[in-house]
Amino acid sequence: MLRRFWLFFAQAVTVLLALIFIVVTLKPQWLQRQGQFGKQLASPIVALRQVAPGAGSATPATSYAEAAQKAMPAVVNVFSGKGGSLPPNPQANDPLFRYFFGNPKGGKQQQQQDEPATNLGSGVIVSSEGYILTNQHVVDGADQIEIALADGRRTTAKVVGVDPETDLAVLKINMTSLPIITLGRTEEARVGDVVLAIGNPFGVGQTVTMGIISALGRNHLGINTFENFIQTDAPINPGNSGGALVDAQGNLLGINTAIYSRSGGSLGIGFAIPVSTAKSVLESIITTGTVTRGWIGVEPQDVTPAIAESFGLEQKGTIVAGVLQGGPADKAGIKPGDVLLDVNGQEITDTTRLLNVIAQIKPGSDAKVRLMRKSKQMELDVMIGKRPPPPKQGNGDEGQQQDE
């Protein structure tokens, strides 16, 4: 009996092993399905959305050489042709740097013997006619302006016009076969987009740095009267002023203007004037030699929480702290204490917004101003005047923003 049982067991094991061998050899997918069943038993309790393998890791660009090569030829070095002794430190070359950070001592001069005495900054060729965009503070006070192109050519430039309130200047050179930069679309720029800063920092030669757009529409910085800056962490140093901030395709997004720094070098907070603003200023200067903006002659003040509570308002709008006698606002009946809410249907959120909205209205045209006076809303028609030129007190006049 025991022998018969043993023979039966041995035959069963032999048959089972034979079946397993056949399945492994001829139908391995049967075992894989069994494995999937085991995995299903270990599925999470909560349904979670997980990206498919490989789908969540977008391949980043490994090189921005094409963008740099597209834009670099149109970025020029702007320098003074006036002779004299060399400055004691390359950091002193940038007027905006000197304005904000003083004139640090020390440093080693690294200019070649054939270089001019003073490196002023950078510029961008935007037209085949030879028009160049740069910062107003770059060329302010220069007796003679010279331009060095990336291809080695040099020539003198004349100032077509300047706009101190945006810190922009338009230069013109007479040369042929000029490289031209392509203007990008600031309205399509997004925080996080990769950007390249191109210029001539410290006079060492054309340099490209990379970063991202850190913020858009930066204002209330006290740098210019009209502020709508692109903030970037692409390293910008003295000498980059007036240079190009371009997107990953090499299109111009802004004109590099200023940095925030306590050491004199880049701390990852730089500011560029949007190309949309630069284009408007360029066209106005070329057409009329100056920039014409609207003006109503009031001294605005932001609505603070205390003011909003006393007037029963939301914390928005601009309160009129003063009215220029005989100015457009005075003639229209606007009085100190009025809270301006909107102009031509455009909401006024603060003094910067009021400044920009009024400036865009053509002088001589009427604007409908909605305001709050003693808890009552009313509308007034204001004939927009021409904004007077700012007093010549150097770059960064702090009184301009407070007088619209």
Nearby residues of 33 by Cβ (< 8 Å), 6 or more positions away:
none
Tell me, yes or no, if 167 is annotated catalytic: yes
Tell me, yes or no, if 263 is annotated catalytic: no
Tell me, yes or no, if 261 is annotated catalytic: no
The owner of tokens 């509308």 is 379
- Among residues 167, 233, 338, 342, the one annotated as catalytic is 167
- Among residues 80, 122, 214, 241, the one annotated as catalytic is 241
The owner of tokens 């210029």 is 199
How would you classify residue 376: left for phi > 0, otherwise alpha for psi between -120 and 50, otherwise beta? beta
> CA-CA distances (angstroms) from residue 335 to 26, 299, 307, 328, 348?
94, 11, 16, 12, 17
- Among residues 122, 137, 233, 342, the one annotated as catalytic is 137
Query: Catalytic site residues?
Result: 137, 167, 241
